[in-house]
Amino acid sequence: MNLNRRHFLCLLSASTGALLLDACTPSENQPSIQNTLTVAASPEETPTATPTEEIKGAIQLPPLPYAYEALEPHIDAKTMQFHHDKHHATYVKNLNAALEKHPQLKNTSVEQMVQNLNNVPEDIRNTVRNNGGGHINHSMFWRIMKPNGGGEPTGAIAQAIKENFGSFDDFKKRFNEEGTKRFGSGWVWLVRDKSGKLEVVSTANQDNPISAGKYPIMGNDVWEHAYYLKYQSRRADYLDAWWNLLNWDEINQRLADAVKFK
C-alpha cells in the first residue's frame, strides 16, 4: 500500500472512529500528520480527550475523497497534501479551540455560524469568520473537484449558466477574470442570490458569500498555498487548469441546495 493510500485510509478510519494505528504511522517520507490525528482522534486513542458528547460535537476534518495525486497534472500531490493535511486541518483545530469556550454553540452548524456572524460571541467572532470560513470553503472545494472531471457542465447548472452568462465560455472568462484580479488571498465564486440570480463574486481571506446572503454554488481557492508549488506566480494558469477537475454532479447538487437556501 503506498503512503497516500495509507494516509487516506487513516483519515477515513479516523473519521469513523476506528483508528488503524499502523496505517497512520508517519514515515520519513511523509510529513507528520499530527494535526490530522489531533483533530480526528476519538476518546479511546486519546486518554486526555474530553468527554464523548464534546468530541461528538467537535468539528472534524473531512477526508479527501481521492488520493493526493488524483488531480495531477492540474494540481500536484504535494500541494494537495499540504493544503488538506496542514492548512485545512489547522482551520479545524483553531475552530475547535474557539468553540470550546462556548459550549452553547455545540448544536449550531459551522454554516449557520458563518451565515449569522453577528450571533457568534464577539470574543471568537473573527476566529469563526476566518477558521469556520476556512473549514466550510475547503470542505466544498475538495468535493467539487474529481479526477478526470471537467468538460462541459451538465444538468441544471448548464442551463443556469447559459441563462445568466450567455454561454459556458463567457462564464469561464468572467470567473477567471474575477479570480485573477482578487488582490492577495481569497476565493472566486459562483453564487446564487435569494432572487435566484447567479453571479460571479470574489471574497477576501476565508470569507464565504453566505455571510452576505449569497449561496456558494462553486468556488476556487486563489490563496498562493493552493497553487504556488506548481504554478509559482502564474495564478491565471492555475485558474485555467482548474476547469479540468470540476465535478459537475456535485455542483448540480449544490445548485439544488442553493435553491432551497433562505
The residues of the shown chain that bind Mn ion, judged by CB under 5 A, are 221, 223
Tell me the closest approach of the beta carbon of residue 87 to Mn ion, in angstroms.
Answer: 5
Tell me the closest approach of the beta carbon of residue 66 to Mn ion, in angstroms.
Answer: 17
Specify the residue, 138 or 254, whose C-beta has the smaller distance to Mn ion: 138
Tell me the closest approach of the beta carbon of residue 5 to Mn ion, in angstroms.
Answer: 23
Specify the residue, 165 or 223, whose C-beta has the smaller distance to Mn ion: 223
Specify the residue, 221 or 250, whose C-beta has the smaller distance to Mn ion: 221
Specify the residue, 68 or 223, whose C-beta has the smaller distance to Mn ion: 223
89 vs 87: CA distance, rounded Å = 5
Specify the residue, 120 or 222, whose C-beta has the smaller distance to Mn ion: 222
Residue with cell 455560524: 113
Q: Are 158 and 174 in contact (CB under 8 A)?
A: no
Tell me the closest approach of the beta carbon of residue 225 to Mn ion, in angstroms.
Answer: 6
> 21 is written with which cell numbers?
494505528
Residue nearest Mn ion (C-beta atom): 221
Specify the residue, 207 or 221, whose C-beta has the smaller distance to Mn ion: 221
Tell me the closest approach of the beta carbon of residue 86 to Mn ion, in angstroms.
Answer: 10
Tell me the closest approach of the beta carbon of residue 64 to Mn ion, in angstroms.
Answer: 13
